[in-house]
Amino acid sequence: MSKPLIGILDVGKTHTKFIVVDADSGRIAAQHERASRSIAGPVIRALDVVGIEQWLRETLSAFPDKAAIEALVPVAHGAAAVLLDSGEQVLFAPDYEDDAFELVAETYRAQRDPFPETFSPFLPLGLNLGRQFFFLESRHATQFKRVESCLLYPQYWAWRLCGEKASEVTSLGCHTDLWRPREAKPSKLADRRGWSRLLPALRAASETLGRVSAELVRATGLDPGCRVQCGIHDSNASYLSHRIGRPAAEPFSVVSSGTWIIVMAHGSPLSRLRESEDMLANVDALGDAVPTARFMGGREYEAILGPSDKPLVPTHTGLASVLRRRAFALPPEHAASERSEFAGRLIRTEDLKGEERAALATAYLALRTDRRLSDLGATGDIVVDGPLSANRLYLELLANLRPESPIRLNNARSGVARAALVLAGVRARAADYVHLALSDSLPEFLAYKSEWADLAYPHA
């Protein structure tokens, strides 16, 4: 008899993954991946929901142990929703990086609720879900009037898997302008404009919405008894996996890495949040507000690195060259969007090669992560999750920048898998952490940090 398995559909902004986890051991048994992309639409750039679904069905059909999958857990990035008409056809699936959302920026700004109510900062493009709705409502009113329901992105995938609609608080509270974390209610803006009525009933991320649809069973060969969970926002999945099992009063931070580097600081006060500095409150799966700061580190890393025909591993030798040359990557003035070039400033980087550029990009991520942790007043353990947990130089630099905080990484590299097990009803296990032991203190990097900070934040 096959071991019970849990399937995770993890729809990120850059990559979409289907991950299969052994429910008994918690180990990843298989992983399939494709690039996420957006497509041109008649009204707005759109998320490729059709392409992702076709790929998922093909992946499920080809998976040899699909009959052993007991539950499917949707996980997806924030600032995304799919709007359906009365016939349950997709009207809009906007990509938040469409420049068209800037056309209504200032008009929309006047409509928003105050930051201390929603803890959603005013963000560029469509990173506030409310701005996406406002753009569609004001610029494409006829089509928008046909909207009957709004499914946040993880719950859109849950609906496609089982046919049941729901809303869930981690996506609803993710810089949408649509939620009041302290009151656990839709925002005044959402109520005033009638958007809150488009949202299905709120369900917990761990709730089973139903069994996989009969049509999906026929198309893929999944077991008809396979459950579909409500699902969760991706950075919140990472955070939840490390929140489980800790005393409620114990402060700690999670650095969730991917396209975005999201720093969530449990135990920090909401009073630390500054709207102008891309800080916000996420809402976790328990409904609690979590002080958060972020930057688009994954994409910026690739942009600093530049094109390469082979993987580049950052090394101490490369870092020594960066420090000696006093080469710097400085953050952009505004949040980055999809682009191949670095939106910040590069200083004395023209002659850097391979390993040196990887070291420069790694140093940049470490310095910006440290800054974000300080902005939040973070204390206690720092858990690094996702791809950055495999970047040894990044971990060493961050540990040297924050000697008072133990740096831990998850052996599984991603907390999403562990969170999905919990959401699927598998008993929570203690996270398998590695504590980073340092061999030296890299004192020259601390001097480099001081110069970097003077250049990056001259008016601080």
426 contacts 23 by C-beta, under 8 angstroms? yes
Domain final residue, candidates 171, 197, 230: 230
Task: Say which residues have a Cβ less than 8 Å from residue 170's Cβ, sequence separation at least 6.
Answer: 205, 232, 233, 236, 282, 283, 284, 285
- Whether 241 is covered by a domain: the verdict is no
Residues 189 and 263 in one domain: no
Alpha-carbon distance of 303 to 393, in angstroms, equals 18
> What confidence score (pLDDT) does residue 88 get?
97
Cα dihedral: 50, 51, 54, 55 (round 10): -150
- Whether 422 is covered by a domain: the verdict is yes
> What confidence score (pLDDT) does residue 440 get?
55
> What confidence score (pLDDT) does residue 238 get?
82
Burial class (CB in 10 A: 0-12, 13-18, 19+), 423: buried
Length of the chain: 460
Domain final residue, candidates 181, 204, 230: 230
- Name the maximum alpha-carbon separation found in the chain: 64
Task: Tell me how far CA of residue 278 lies from CA of 168, 273, 322, 348, 453, in angstroms.
Answer: 23, 9, 28, 28, 18
Q: Tell me which residue range forms the domain holding 254.
A: 246-456
Q: What six digits make up the tokens of 379?
A: 């204390």
- Whether 184 is covered by a domain: the verdict is yes
Residues 270 and 174 in one domain: no
- Whether 444 is covered by a domain: the verdict is yes
pTM for this structure?
0.87
Residues 396 and 421 in one domain: yes
Domain final residue, candidates 199, 230, 261: 230
Residues 138 and 201 in one domain: yes
Domain count, the chain: 2
> What confidence score (pLDDT) does residue 385 get?
86
> What confidence score (pLDDT) does residue 411 get?
57
Alpha-carbon distance of 187 to 165, in angstroms, equals 21
Q: What six digits make up the tokens of 460?
A: 């601080």
Residues 295 and 224 in one domain: no
> What confidence score (pLDDT) does residue 341 get?
66
- Whether 430 is covered by a domain: the verdict is yes
- Whether 426 is covered by a domain: the verdict is yes
Residues 347 and 419 in one domain: yes
Q: What six digits make up the tokens of 124?
A: 């560029």
Residues 32 and 57 in one domain: yes
> What confidence score (pLDDT) does residue 41 get?
83
Question: pLDDT tens digits, the chain, 460 residues: what are they?
Answer: 478 999 999 999 989 999 999 998 888 999 999 999 999 988 899 999 999 999 999 999 999 999 999 999 999 999 999 999 999 999 999 999 999 999 999 999 999 999 999 999 999 999 999 999 999 999 999 999 999 999 999 999 999 999 999 999 999 999 999 999 999 999 999 999 999 999 999 999 999 999 999 999 999 999 999 999 999 999 899 889 888 878 888 999 999 888 889 999 999 999 999 998 889 999 999 999 999 999 999 999 999 998 887 888 999 999 999 999 999 999 987 665 445 568 889 999 999 999 999 999 999 999 999 999 999 999 999 999 888 989 999 999 999 999 899 888 765 556 788 889 999 998 755 566 666 655 455 778 989 999 999 999 987 6
Residues 349 and 451 in one domain: yes
- Whether 448 is covered by a domain: the verdict is yes
Residue 323's CATH number: 3.30.420.40
- Whether 259 is covered by a domain: the verdict is yes
